[in-house]
Amino acid sequence: MKTGQEKIIILGGGGHSRVLIDLIRTSGKYEIAGILDLLLEQGIKVLGISVLGKDDLLPEFYKRGIKNVCIGVGSIKDNNNRKKIYEKVKQIGFHVPFLIHPKAIISGDTEISEGVQVMAGATIQTGCVIGENTIINTGAIVEHDCSVGRDVHICPGSVISGECTVSDGVFVGAGATAIQGIKIGKGVLVGAGAVVIRDVPDNVKVVGVPAKIVNGE
């Protein structure tokens, strides 16, 4: 442990958690105290980090003085589970720090909210606002003056062009693209590889090139 490092608990021990372990170790800001996972057996290790038990131990660790948590549970198509976990740990009192990989490129005037995770190779350009508990995943690009809501997942290799609005709870699949100035409504699922060329209403799924709604109007 380096001098001045605070301890952090990771919730979840799957693939997304392993990516976060690498991010945290590379950044050097936090010491990982352990992992809590509902399914993994206590005592096993994930990349050398011990599983300490299940999520019901959170209040105990908070009382012991560990005040930082990161959400190591990813999302596939649906961000609601991450949202519920985030709300749970905030209710206990935990701080959920934003985590940025040293190899991400982020403009100095970008607003990064609590709980945001920006992975290696991601780029966020000038004038952007990124909401709470959002993932900007490996190699994703968010161009200038974009507003990205809370509980969003922008998957690896996706491109959000300049002046777009990505509303709360949106899932942008791997390799998808939104052209300049597009507004994507709340809870939208953008399929992998889709190209969004017009605004998308709330709570629909769009797929294809160009992207079209497949579950309602």
**Same domain (yes/no): 132, 178:** yes
Same domain flag for 104 and 193: yes
Mean pLDDT lowest among 18-32, 34-48, 75-89: 75-89
Task: Please give the pLDDT value at position 34.
Answer: 97
Confidence band of 3 (pLDDT split at 50, 70, 90): low
Say whether pLDDT at 36 is over 80.
yes
pLDDT in tens, 139-157: 999 999 999 999 999 999 9
Residues 104 and 180 in one domain: yes
CATH of the domain at 51: 3.40.50.20
Q: What residue numbers bound the domain in which 117 lies? A: 98-200
**In whole angstroms, how far apart are CA 104 and each of 26, 139, 149, 158, 192?**
12, 8, 19, 14, 22
Please check whether residues 47 and 137 belong to one and the same domain: no
Residues 6 or more apart whose Cβ sits within 8 Å of residue 34: 9, 10, 49, 50, 51, 52
Mean pLDDT, rounded, for 36-46: 93
If one compares 190 and 215, the residue with the highest pLDDT of the two is: 190
CB atoms < 10 A from the CB of 153, how many? 25
Same domain for 26 and 60: yes
| Mean pLDDT value of segment 210-215 | 91
- Assign residue 174 the CATH number of its domain: 2.160.10.10
Segment 171-199 shows an average pLDDT of 97
Does residue 2 carry a pLDDT above 60?
A: no
Whether residues 123 and 43 fall in one domain: no
Catalytic residues, by residue number, are 144
- Cβ neighbour number for residue 67 with a 10 Å cutoff: 16
Residue 149 has a CB neighbour count (10 Å cut-off) of 20
Structural domain includes residue 212? no
Domain assignment of residue 191, yes or no: yes
How far apart (Å, rounded) are the C-alpha atoms in residues 130 and 137?
A: 13
Confidence of residue 4 (pLDDT cuts 50, 70, 90): low
Residues 132, 148: contact at Cβ < 8 Å?
no
Number of domains observed in the structure of the chain: 2
- Lowest mean pLDDT, pick from 7-16, 73-82, 191-200: 73-82
85 and 70 in a common domain: yes
Residue 217 lies in a domain: no
